[in-house]
Chain A
Amino acid sequence: MHPEETRIYIAVLTAGCILGILIIFLFVTIIRYHRRKVALYLEKILADTQLMEQDRARIASDLHDDLGSSLSAIRLQLDLLPEDSRYIQTVTAARRTIDDAIGKVKQISKNMMPITLKEQGLKEAVVEYISMLPGNNKGKVQLEWNIHEQGIPQNHKIHIYRIIQEVLTNALKHAQAGVIAIQMHHRNNMLELSITDNGVGFDKRVLKRSRKGLGLRNITTRADILKAAVYLNTAPGKGVSYQFLIPLPPLLQ
């Protein structure tokens, strides 16, 4: 190579190296800032959901302790009324309405903050939730549970419970599913939760573009908190199949 060419060649290589260094710097800064952004996002949704759960617990407790007690007191006062044939029909109807109201308050309170989850565990809470489903819906749900819950953190349990609750609501409300299968297994160092229905299904891309689907957003937010991988398989007329791979904290693996 001519000395002049060598100089040009070195200049080209230097320019190439500068370009390379810039791209590598871009790569490193993107990774760094993205990691920080993801951490902030997780902190935010964790704080939001914790606040929401606290609010739910407070409202559930208020409903159960205050409103529920007041309704029970009214019911008791009705029982203490002297029997009078003129008002017997009205009183009986009032008793029935109050019993109904007490039942609804209990159900809403349990939906908002399932005591069973805290006291008996995730499986029992899910079974209870299924048993509280209205009409013949409870018969549509099949549950297969093959995990030991000991050691799964309580905050993990509440998010898993909410995910199941949300998926079931979607399947029954929007998908008109006839059968819903819930399966929970251990897979390597993870919990594998699969929920499948034979409902109407939907187009994932349309849903993503429309930015609708509050229920689905709740599901993915909870999954993000659990650092779970979500796989969604669906198409119009083909039902919906969710798979959640939830990593277990290191000590529990």
Chain B
Amino acid sequence: MPGYTIDIILNHSITIAAVIGVVRFRKIHKDFYPFLLIVWLAFINESLSLALIYTIGSNTVNANIYVLAEYLLLMYQFYRWDGSTAKQLCFFAVLGIVIWAGDNMIFHTLQENNSVFRIFYSFVIVFFSIDRINSLIVWEKKSLQKNAVFLLCIAFLLYYGYKAFLEVFNMFNLPFSYPFYRSLWLSLSVVNCFVNIIYASAILCIPKKQEFILLY
């Protein structure tokens, strides 16, 4: 049980970011609203997961639906940050829906822990994050340390990179024991907690108004 308690505490660290998001809502530029929605959705999903695990013993259905919502919102968030990638984002959003439907409705069911879509969406988010980071390195004229987009993209890189790596174990259904898988997901929860702290500090760095920047 102590293991679960640590898991619950680590995963609920999103609460800090969610609360900061509520407090700073009026001081946050609307380009960041999709991210705020993700944070609040994550908080709701964590609480719902906890309730469902203690009542029906499984949170797979809401988790499978949540990852699709998170993916689409992140695609929309990347669009708000850089409208010029609209076509690629639309393509990947549609492709994501197709893969999700295939993974959760055709090849498996919503009641299973499906990994194909999770690996796909983690990769897509990592790719778009790298693209954003590179664009910021080239165009940004102010310090990146307090740049909310930069902090968030680094956090995405950390979390989704590690998540994609771990989901491979799940996808191949390797014959490991339950404690092994539990320890594996616990390590992801530690990364998740670290990333949630970065989310919270990034929300504190989100400006009220977007500065006007011309390319060099």
Contacts and interface: CB of A to CB of B under 8 A. Distances in A.
Interface string A122-143: 0000000000000000000000
A9 B183 contact: yes
Interface in A203-236: 204-205, 208-209, 211, 213, 216-217, 220, 224, 229-232
Contacts, number: 80
Given A216-B214, A231-B209, A38 B141 contact: yes
B120 interface: no
A190 to B, nearest CB: 14
Given A5-B176, A34-B144, A231-B209, A15 B165 contact: yes
Interface stretch (B11-19, B105-113, B154-162): B154-162
B173 interface: no
Q: Per DSSP, are chain A's interface residues mostly helix, strand or loop, or mixed?
A: helix
A12 B167 CA distance: 12
A213 B214 contact: yes
B145 interface: yes
Contact of B162 (A20, A30, A224): A20
A195 B133 CA distance: 33
Interface residues of B, number: 34
A231 B212 contact: yes
Nearest to A205: B83
Interface string A30-41: 110111011001
B70 interface: no
A23 B161 contact: yes
Given A208-B215, A211-B215, A1 B161 contact: no
A147 interface: no
B191 interface: yes
A224 B144 contact: no
Interface string A10-21: 001101100110
A29 B181 CA distance: 34
Given A1-B177, A5-B177, A31 B141 contact: no
B85 interface: no
A76 interface: no
Given A23-B154, A229-B211, A230-B211, A38 B142 contact: yes
A220 B213 contact: yes
A1 B191 contact: no
Interface string B122-142: 000000000001000100111
A20 B180 contact: no
A2 B177 contact: yes
Contacts of B166: 12
Contact of B145 (A19, A31, A205, A211): A31
Interface in B85-122: none
B89 to A, nearest CB: 16
Interface string B33-66: 0000000000000000000000000000000000
19 contacts: A1-B177, A1-B179, A1-B183, A2-B180, A9-B183, A16-B165, A19-B162, A20-B158, A23-B158, A26-B157, A33-B137, A35-B144, A41-B216, A204-B212, A205-B83, A229-B211, A230-B212, A231-B209, A231-B212
Interface of B: 83-84, 133, 137, 140-145, 154, 157-158, 161-162, 165-166, 169, 176-177, 179-180, 183-184, 187, 191, 209-216
